Structure 1
Amino acid sequence: MDISHIEGPEPVYRLAGKLSFADNEAMRPVLDDMGTGTGRTLILDIGQLDYVDSFGIGLFLVALDEVKKAGNRLVVRNPQGAVKRIFALSNLDTLLTIEGENTPPLGPSAKLPPLAPIHNGLTIGPVVADGEDGFVVMLTGRFTFNDHEGFEALLSAIESCAETTLTLNLKGLEFMDSAGLSMLLIAREEAARNNTHLVLASPSGRVSQLLDLAAIDTLVDVREQR
Structure 2
Amino acid sequence: MNLEINVTETDNQNVAYLSGEVDVYTASKLKETLTPLAEQSDKNLIVDLSGVDYIDSTGLGIFIGTLKTTEKTGNTLMLTGLNERVRRLFEITGLNEVIDIEVDNKREEA
Aligned pair count reads 100
Residues 1:47 and 2:60 aligned together = no
Name the aligned partner's letter for residue 95 of structure 1.
Answer: V
CA distance, structure 2, for counterparts of residue 98 and residue 24 of structure 1 = 20
CA distance, structure 1, for counterparts of residue 77 and residue 69 of structure 2 = 9
- 1:47–1:80 CA contact under 8 A, matched in 2: yes
Residues 1:5 and 2:18 aligned together = no
CA distance, structure 2, for counterparts of residue 13 and residue 82 of structure 1 = 20
- 2:14–2:37 CA contact under 8 A, matched in 1: no
Q: CA deviation at 1:36?
A: 2.0
What do residues 119-156 of structure 1 show as CA deviations (whole Å, max 9, x unaligned)?
xxxxxxxxxxxxxxxxxxxxxxxxxxxxxxxxxxxxxx
Q: Which of the numbers 36, 46, 49 marks the counterpart of 2:40?
A: 36
- 1:50–1:81 CA contact under 8 A, matched in 2: no
SS in 2 for 1:21: coil
SS in 1 for 2:10: coil
TM norm structure 2? 0.84
Segments of 5+ residues of structure 2 without an aligned counterpart are 105-110
Residue aligning to 2:107: none
What do residues 151-176 of structure 1 show as CA deviations (whole Å, max 9, x unaligned)?
xxxxxxxxxxxxxxxxxxxxxxxxxx
CA distance, structure 2, for counterparts of residue 2 and residue 64 of structure 1 = 21
TM norm structure 1? 0.42
Segments of 5+ residues of structure 1 without an aligned counterpart are 103-226
Q: Which has the larger radius of gyration?
A: 1
Q: CA deviation at 1:29?
A: 2.5
RMSD: 1.2
Higher relative contact order (CA 8 A, sep 6+): 2
CA distance, structure 2, for counterparts of residue 95 and residue 87 of structure 1 = 10
SS in 1 for 2:26: helix
- Structure with the higher fraction of residues in strand conformation: 2
- 2:18–2:47 CA contact under 8 A, matched in 1: yes
Residue aligning to 2:108: none
Matches within 5 A, 1:30-109: 30-37=34-41, 39-99=42-102, 101-102=103-104
- 2:21–2:54 CA contact under 8 A, matched in 1: yes
